[in-house]
Amino acid sequence: MKVILVSAVALIDRDGRVLITQRPKGKSMEGLWEFPGGKIEFGETPEDALVRELHEELGIETWSSCLAPLTFASHGYSDFHLLMPLFACRKWDGTPKPNEGQNLKWVHVKSLKDFPMPPADIPLIAVLRDWL
């Protein structure tokens, strides 16, 4: 089975809310909410991938030194296995914007369970809740 490496981040604002993004129409798992991030390209570290993805998807700048490893997801889907480190980040420049047509929402960690998410993301909610 193919293993896909993806890096994700819990952006945490001053009010302790976490940013989630909704997968746009036409993408697999469209309509589900997830933590921002994306595939790790050949030669990239998970941190490098997040710095790049946050710039591309949300128009914000952050640095590897601002990404704290928090936990990871390992989930088998029908046609691939996803391995996804989740980082926490409280420092970035700019205001997140939906550069790829996705919806954005800042939510309190206790409300994350109210949003439909991909199966790999669901176990991450409890870790975030306990950490925040």
Instruction: Dump pLDDT digits (tens) for 13-71.
Output: 999 999 999 998 888 889 999 999 999 999 999 999 999 999 999 999 999 999 999 99
Instruction: Dump pLDDT digits (tens) for 75-96.
Output: 999 999 999 999 999 999 999 9
Q: How many Cα atoms occupy the beta-carbon half-sphere of 109 within 13 Å?
A: 17
Number of domains in the chain: 1
**What's the rounded Cα separation, in Å, for the pair 13 and 25?**
27
Q: How many Cα atoms occupy the beta-carbon half-sphere of 78 within 13 Å?
A: 2
Tell me how many degrees the CA angle 36-97-71 measures, rounded to the nearest 5.
15
- State which residues form the domain around 56: 3-131
CATH number of the domain to which 107 belongs: 3.90.79.10
Tokens of 85: 């480190």
Q: What is the pTM of this model?
A: 0.94
- Residue written as token pair 């909610």: 125
pLDDT value for 26: 83
pLDDT value for 132: 84
